[in-house]
Every structure is written in structure tokens, then in C-alpha cells.
Amino acid sequence: MITLRIKYADSTVTVTFPCAENTLAAKLMELHASDHEGDPFFIEEVIEPRDIAPFFETQFVDLDEVNYLAKRMESFMEKELNQFFAASTLEGHSTVKDLINLTFSLERYTLVRDVSNLQKVGASHMLNKRGAMTTEELKSPKMAEIGKELLGSGKGIPTDYGLVFINEENPFNELYTGTTFPEYYYKNAYAIVYLEKGDECECIYLPEDEAAIPKALRRLGCDSLDECSIHLEMSELDDSIIEGIFRSILDGEGLYHLNRFANRIEDCDDARKLAAVMKYAETEDSESLCQLARGIDHFIFIPDVTESEDVGRYWVDKIDELMYSTALEDYIDFTTYGEDMIDANEVRFIES
């Protein structure tokens, strides 16, 4: 989390990052600076964390870069945050761009805060360099030897956060070039839309605030979506019906309509029911589908049924809540009851 006091002309506003695009836009309106979205803004004060004050305070920064950096930092554990602050101090980074790339390069820096346990020092060092290790490897006596060798190398650089060792074999990853943001799954998304122009790519994580789309286009140097190639990849909603609907809306109506549809169905808890209702309705335009999503509670969804008897049993147990003794099950005609419910309620069997 990054909280900044931003100044524009004679107005100031406090913004906590990461934040939604609509939230950031509202803050710029408070500053009477909404027409200058995308321009650098002056940071009057870093409220938290104070560790980054030397990089932001009394400087002009791109707020979208700050927002992306905050998303990256929010995923860090305390150990990684200290590692990040130590490395940034050591390297003397002066731009948000450098700090963003540092978040992708922590394996280059080993931070040792407690030198009393050689086993932990060695295990932490190797885990940092490799990214993943088995429990057996971390408990190996070799870790103590590695820890002793590391501390005895004399290469540790003192910082306010502890000793920093630079792992020269791990490069500093400059994934962010200052134009388009690297792909990063900050939040759950139904789908990711890739906007590509030349070698540059921007990701839209659906559902998203609509303002994210023109911002992505601006970073790509495009005036409209027609200038990009667009690719869709499903994520959270692993359902062939909904995937088909997403692709149909994207191809037929465009990204803005698809994003509005994704926002509309965000509160639907049952993806299988949503997919079944949409197939039941036999409609594909986004506005009609949004109406269905709004009224999804008016539909009854019976999963994994293939015949009238299944419908009859479900209706007795869940809908009508009829009381009967299980000893009488063999004498109850669930099939006929199910057929009656199918006729009375326009029930249809939907293939998933």
C-alpha cells in the first residue's frame, strides 16, 4: 500500500494505491485535473510507507505507474518488502520505472537480517535465488555450509534493513520499458484481453473499470481499438458456454460491450447456472445477457439431471419441500411428477 499527498495548482488530495481506475479519476476531479490524466503529478508528501519517500517526495510521477507498483508491492510478504526497500536503497533507484523492475528482480538480492542461524541464512539465500525448493533441500545440512560461506565472503553490504548480497548470476529484469505494463494477475479475472501493437502488449483484466481501456490504448500509442490486434483468454470462468458468449460479444460488439457484460455478471456466484440460463434463453447480444444476469434468481437450475425422474426428485426435495417417508420411495412416481413440473415450468434440459 502506498499513500501519497498529491498537489496540483493550489489543490491537494490524498490517494491510497493500489486503487481502482474510477477512484483515481475521482481524485483527479477533486484536484480539478481530470483533463490532465496521464500527465506527471507532483508528490507533496509520502504518507506511507516512509521507506519510499526518497524516490517520490517532492517529485513528479506518473500515477498509473505508482498504481501498478503498489499492486506489485501489495503481494509482498514482510520479508520481501524489507528485501525490496534494502535493494532500492542500495541501488539508489530514482524512478518509479526502476522500482517496478526491482519488484521483478528480488532474486538478485539476498537480505540477511539475522546472522545467528547459518542454516536459515543458507536456506533463505538459496530459496531467494532459485524461487522454489523442496522441504528436504531446505533442511539439508548443506544449507548451513552455504550460509557460512555467504557470510564469510565479505560481500555483504550493510543497509538499514540488514546485510544485502548481490547475486550477480541473477540479472536485473527490465520487464517494464516505460510504456506498457508487464502482465500481472493482481486480481481474479473472468478473462484477460490482450491488446497488441507491434511488439507491445497491454492486458485488460475483465471485469475492469472502463477507464482502463483508453489508458491501455494510450500506452500502446493507439487512438482506437481498431489499431490493435485483440486476443481473449479465459481465466476464472472455466465454462465452454460462457467462453463462447465472451468471444461472441468481443467479435460482434467489441471490448467495451464485453467489459460491461463482465461487470454485470461479477456478482453471479454460480457460473454453471449462469451458463445454463444463457443457453436456455438462446440469446447472445450483451444487453439481453445483462438482463438475464440481473434476473438470474428468477430461474431454477438443477445441475446434473438427465431425465424427468431427476426433476421430480429435485422438485420434491428442494422446491415443494414435500414430506414423505423414505420407506415409500419405491411407491412414488417421481417420473410423472417430474413431467408435470417440466410442463408447468417450461423446464428444459441443457447440455453443458
**113 contact partners, CB below 8 Å, separation of at least 6:** 82, 161, 162, 163
Q: Which residue has the cell 431425465?
A: 307
**16 contact partners, CB below 8 Å, separation of at least 6:** 1, 2, 3
Give the separation between CA 242 and CA 226, rounded to whole angstroms. Answer: 25
- 267 and 326 in one domain? no
Residue 58 counted as domain residue: yes
Evaluate if residue 261 carries a pLDDT over 80: yes
- 262 and 322 in one domain? no
Per-residue pLDDT tens digits for 135-145 = 888 788 888 98
Residue 80 counted as domain residue: no
Residue 10 counted as domain residue: yes
Average pLDDT for residues 229-243, to the nearest whole number?
A: 79
- 266 and 211 in one domain? yes
pLDDT of residue 242: 76
pLDDT of residue 100: 96
- 39 and 20 in one domain? yes
Number of structural domains, the chain?
4
- 252 and 279 in one domain? yes
- 287 and 195 in one domain? yes
Per-residue pLDDT tens digits for 286-298 = 777 777 777 777 7
Residue 271 counted as domain residue: yes
Reference 131, options 160, 173, 98, 92; nearest CA is: 173
* Contact present, 177 and 126 (Cβ < 8 Å): no
Residue 272 counted as domain residue: yes
Residue 172 counted as domain residue: no
**Phi then psi dihedrals of residue 54, to 5 deg:** -60, -25
Per-residue pLDDT tens digits for 11-47 = 899 999 999 999 999 999 998 887 776 788 999 999 9
- 199 and 290 in one domain? yes
- 44 and 111 in one domain? no
Termini Cα distance of the chain: 42
Domain stops at, among 56, 75, 94: 75
Evaluate if residue 232 carries a pLDDT over 90: yes
User: DSSP string of 185-202?
Assistant: --S--SEEEEEEETTEEE
Per-residue pLDDT tens digits for 19-28 = 999 999 999 9
- 284 and 248 in one domain? yes
**Which domain range does residue 69 map to?**
2-75
The DSSP secondary-structure symbol of 224 reads S
- 121 and 34 in one domain? no
The CA radius of gyration of the chain, in Å to the nearest whole number, is 28
- 339 and 321 in one domain? yes
**94 contact partners, CB below 8 Å, separation of at least 6:** 55
- 21 and 59 in one domain? yes
pLDDT of residue 111: 94
Q: Please tell me the pTM assigned to this model.
A: 0.80
